[in-house]
């Protein structure tokens, strides 16, 4: 009785599974992968119905005829098919995946025994080379391998089903046997914060930048500074998601890498936004070491820090850098002014703001492989290091870090974690998850943010950002030009030109970061990067029918 109880109750379920496995054969039913859409429902990734062709060789009656039909219909080499079906040890052999429906219909007409079919789906990207490094791609088996396809794979992939056929001991289907069908559960759909129309503008702008400036790469990010929602992200060079070359893995890795999130660079003068924010906030808080907005700085081109000369990018000719206050320092991007601020505030205070603005750590974006940036430990920072950090050298950040930090500086002082996924929902419209804006911390006060934003508007109106100016619209921003380093030394003639800007300045809705790597000829952010922000902002104004500022 004890043995009977053990076999029937404790061991019973396991024995039933083994029995079913012995007298049935299963054909997988692959779940339909969830779609990916933009914020307005434009489909960015979908599926094409394709099939996997299986052969159970012990059920085949005429192997030669079958191999001939398979090779001809599926465009396969006859010798390859014959060898695979006759020499492979497995009783069930996968002949080919992602077979079009037309080919399956042609095979069905032959009526061969031992040939089976299952749906496997092929991923399709309707716009080819579009949002490439964000969407990512899947493997031949439909599993996410990069980008959002990888990050949200557990939601998108669904649950596979199967069809069970009754067979004899050698796997031949029994005449009159019953088939059992376990349906697949389709994957959930993913709605992004991306706006298809704004993405189009950025894709076109970065392609143009690559052509005109013969650059190594061109990157652009647009986000909502009041929520962290990413509206567009374009990187060139790129590739067609429907024609992925998997033979050159190093090239595929390079082109599919989301450099705005995963790579770091010295930001140059765009980082002066943080230094200015720190000074304004400390001044409002009564810190005697901070400078007032009206303070006039020493007009010398040089500052000597512990015996080392730190200079301005400009030669200070024609008096352009004379009698400058903080507004003038931002307009002219004068390095010594920001050196003075950092040296006066001290490294503890400067590092307090670096941490508040979340540099040196990930932003929390929903994406795999985000970089933390490179920041010297405060204990290791020398005075000359601090002087250079003040104007964006001796520090490395990701593009997304810079954009999110700038958004916090000008939106009233609130740092929002950037994000791609707006909703995860079923084909029936049931929402499984909805992403709400996540404020991580406050970086500066609303008053300091307002003062800083007015100054950055002045940079576009009167200073180095003039090529981003749009008549009638309040555009603000900051340019940046950084030299590149190779093997620890400055690489001659290699620069990164950048611009971070937003509008309307008094109530920001769109913030854009443009990075042009190694432009040929002109290399200043003011002349190379800023015009593309203007181009995209003008496009947004037309698309959204935005009215001029009153």
Confidence band (pLDDT; 50, 70, 90) for 26?
A: low
Distance CA(97)–CA(81), nearest Å, equals 14
* pTM to 2 decimal places: 0.88
* 315 and 398 fall within a common domain: yes
Each residue of 36-82: pLDDT tens digit? 999 999 999 999 888 889 888 888 889 999 999 999 999 999 999 99
Q: Is residue 130 part of a domain?
A: no
Q: Is residue 355 part of a domain?
A: yes
269 carries an active-site annotation: yes
Q: Is residue 151 part of a domain?
A: no
Higher pLDDT, 215 or 493: 215
Distance CA(373)–CA(365), nearest Å, equals 14
Task: Report the CATH number at residue 313.
Answer: 3.40.710.10
Q: Take residue 107 and report the two structure tokens written for it.
A: 């095979």
Confidence band (pLDDT; 50, 70, 90) for 245?
A: confident
Mean pLDDT of 87-107: 88
Q: Which residues pair with 512 in a beta bridge?
A: 222, 501
* 65 and 203 fall within a common domain: no
* 109 and 205 fall within a common domain: no
pLDDT of residue 120: 80
Count the Cβ atoms, other than its own, within 10 Å of residue 123.
Answer: 24
Of 75, 96, 122, the residue that ends a domain is 122
* 527 and 405 fall within a common domain: yes
* 111 and 200 fall within a common domain: no
Q: Is residue 184 part of a domain?
A: no
Higher pLDDT, 25 or 114: 114
Of 96, 122, 148, the residue that ends a domain is 122
Q: Is residue 131 part of a domain?
A: no
Q: Is residue 168 part of a domain?
A: no
Query: Kind of pairing, strands 36-37 and 189-192?
Result: parallel
Task: Report the CATH number at residue 85.
Answer: 3.30.70.2110
Specify the number of domains making up the chain.
2
* 412 and 507 fall within a common domain: yes
Is-contact 445 461, C-beta < 8 A?
A: no
Of 46, 269, 464, 526, catalytic: 269
Distance CA(265)–CA(485), nearest Å, equals 10
Count the Cβ atoms, other than its own, within 10 Å of residue 492.
Answer: 8
Measured at the CA of 113, the angle between CA 112 and CA 118, to 5 degrees, comes to: 85
Supply the range of the domain harboring residue 109. Answer: 49-122
Reference 332, options 341, 324, 340; nearest CA is: 324
* 210 and 99 fall within a common domain: no
* 106 and 234 fall within a common domain: no
Of 122, 154, 180, the residue that ends a domain is 122
Higher pLDDT, 240 or 5: 240
What distances in angstroms separate CA 135 from CA 197, 235, 335, one per listed residue?
Answer: 16, 12, 39
Percent of the chain with pLDDT over 70: 94
Q: Is residue 128 part of a domain?
A: no
Each residue of 326-359: pLDDT tens digit? 999 999 999 999 999 999 999 999 999 999 999 9
Each residue of 147-200: pLDDT tens digit? 999 999 999 998 888 766 666 555 555 565 566 777 888 999 999 999 999 999
pLDDT of residue 173: 56
pLDDT of residue 24: 54
Q: Is residue 524 part of a domain?
A: yes
* 295 and 400 fall within a common domain: yes
Q: Take residue 387 and report the two structure tokens written for it.
A: 């002087």
Is-contact 120 158, C-beta < 8 A?
A: no
């Amino acid at each position: 009785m004890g043995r009977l109880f053990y076999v029937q109750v404790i061991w019973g379920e396991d024995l039933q599974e083994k029995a079913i496995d012995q007298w049935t054969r299963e054909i997988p039913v692959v779940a339909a992968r969830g779609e990916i859409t933009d914020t307005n429902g434009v489909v960015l990734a979908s599926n094409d119905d394709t099939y996997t062709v299986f052969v159970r060789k012990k059920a085949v009656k005429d192997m030669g005829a079958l191999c001939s039909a398979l090779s001809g219909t599926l465009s396969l080499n006859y010798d390859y098919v014959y060898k695979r079906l006759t020499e492979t040890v497995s009783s069930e052999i996968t002949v080919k995946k992602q077979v079009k429906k037309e080919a399956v219909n042609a095979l069905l007409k032959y009526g061969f025994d031992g040939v089976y079919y299952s749906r496997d789906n092929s991923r399709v990207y309707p716009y080819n080379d579009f949002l490439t490094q964000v969407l990512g791609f899947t493997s031949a088996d439909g599993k996410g391998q990069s980008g959002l396809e990888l990050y949200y794979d557990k939601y998108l992939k669904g649950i596979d089903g199967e069809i069970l056929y009754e067979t004899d001991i050698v796997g031949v289907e029994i005449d009159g046997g019953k088939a059992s069908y376990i349906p697949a559960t389709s994957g959930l759909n993913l709605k992004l914060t991306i706006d298809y129309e704004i993405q189009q503008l950025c894709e076109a702008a970065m392609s143009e930048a690559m052509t005109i400036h013969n650059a190594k790469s061109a990157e652009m990010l647009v986000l909502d500074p009041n929520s962290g929602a990413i509206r567009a992200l374009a990187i060139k060079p790129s590739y067609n998601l429907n024609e992925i070359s998997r033979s050159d893995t190093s090239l595929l890795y390079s082109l599919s890498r989301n450099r705005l999130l995963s790579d770091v660079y010295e930001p140059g003068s765009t980082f002066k936004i943080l230094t200015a924010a720190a000074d304004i906030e400390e001044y409002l808080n009564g810190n005697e070491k901070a400078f007032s907005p009206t303070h006039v700085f020493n007009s010398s081109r040089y500052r000597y820090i512990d015996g080392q000369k730190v200079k301005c990018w400009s030669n200070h000719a024609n008096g352009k850098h004379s009698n400058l206050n903080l507004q003038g320092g931002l307009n002219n991007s004068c390095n010594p002014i920001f050196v003075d601020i950092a040296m006066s505030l001290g490294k503890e205070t400067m590092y307090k703001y670096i941490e508040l603005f979340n540099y040196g750590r990930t932003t929390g974006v929903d994406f795999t492989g985000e970089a933390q940036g490179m920041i010297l430990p405060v204990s290791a920072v020398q005075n000359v290091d601090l002087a250079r950090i003040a104007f964006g050298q001796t520090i490395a950040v990701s593009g997304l870090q810079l954009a999110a930090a700038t958004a916090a500086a000008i939106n009233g002082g609130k740092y929002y974690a950037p994000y791609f996924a707006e909703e995860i929902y079923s084909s029936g419209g049931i929402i499984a998850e909805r992403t709400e804006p996540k404020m991580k911390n406050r970086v500066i006060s609303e008053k300091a943010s307002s003062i800083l934003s007015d100054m950055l508007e002045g940079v576009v109106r009167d200073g180095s950002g003039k090529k981003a100016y749009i008549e009638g619209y309040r555009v603000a921003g900051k340019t940046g030009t950084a030299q590149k380093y190779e093997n620890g030394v400055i690489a001659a003639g290699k620069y990164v030109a950048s611009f971070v800007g937003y509008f309307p300045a008094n109530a920001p809705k769109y913030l854009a970061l443009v990075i042009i790597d190694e432009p040929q000829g002109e290399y200043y952010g003011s002349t190379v990067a800023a015009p593309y922000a203007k181009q995209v902002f003008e496009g947004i104004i037309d698309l959204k029918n935005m009215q001029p500022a009153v």
